[in-house]
Amino acid sequence: MYDFKGKVAVVTGAGSDMGAAIVKKFTDDGANAVLIGVHEETIRKTYDDLGLDGSRAICIEADVSDEAAVKAAVRQALDKFGRIDFLVNLAGIEGPNNSRTEEYSYAMARRVFDVNVWGTFLMMQNCLPVMQAQGCGAIVNFGSVSGMFGYAGEIAYGASKAAVIHMTKNAANENGGNGVRVNCISPGWVNTKMFRRILDQYRETFDDPLDNVTLGPLGRPAEPMEMANIVAFLCSDEASYVNGSNWLADGGMTLG
């Protein structure tokens, strides 16, 4: 457990399984939380399921790829809490699985980049000045093993996550002297709705879909809270010398 009392954590994609785990970890450790998501009902479900109240948490419906919506969301967070200590850029979309490059829709590829890349960019762009003025802050972006390895069928998703990893390093280099650290987590498989949806797609082709998912030496996907624990560490004072890193959290699946 970390001492985040009085800190404010902004989490995008807060309505997802992993987003809910991250919000839970922050609030369990004393932080106030700003839950941002594109669908009000999903972030409200996280809020309600965790038993949060208006004194320590706020839900903001916003599309992170919309510049005006991001600016408004950050203003709303500041109006509520007066500061932003942590930003977690989890919001992202996958696009179609197993689509060859020549089959991939340009419109879908653009949308994947709009959310995954430019959504992360816009959130950092609007939160960094707040953190710089405070003289402290920590940002955790979400990449993916797909952004590090050239998996077939993931042309847009993989490229978008590679861009996030690189933006993390750029921002870390620019802001270390301002007391702001920027890091990235690149998960492998995580036991979320997206993972289960991919298994359902594989069931259409394979008798045992898990035979076609590389889980690595641990033989299982990560649980969302295992990712949340890494987020909390990277935001904590215990990671005060960790900056510009990309944490590969894949259970060893890429070891070969």
Q: Which residues are catalytic?
A: 157
Residue 210 tokens, joined:
């898990």
Distance (Å, whole) CA 42 – CA 250: 26
Distance (Å, whole) CA 194 – CA 73: 26
Reported as type and span, the H/E element at residue 32 is strand 32-37
Q: Is the separation of the CB atoms in 23 and 50 below 8 Å? A: yes
Q: Is the separation of the CB atoms in 172 and 204 below 8 Å? A: no
Q: How distant, in Å, are the alpha carbons of 4, 10, 25, 84 from that of 80?
A: 17, 12, 20, 10
Distance (Å, whole) CA 256 – CA 244: 26
Q: What angle do CA 247, 248, 254 make, to 5 degrees?
A: 165
Residue 252 tokens, joined:
């060893």
Bridge partners of 32, per DSSP, are 8
Tell which residue, 178, 147, 177, 176, has the closest CA to residue 249: 147
Distance (Å, whole) CA 168 – CA 121: 9
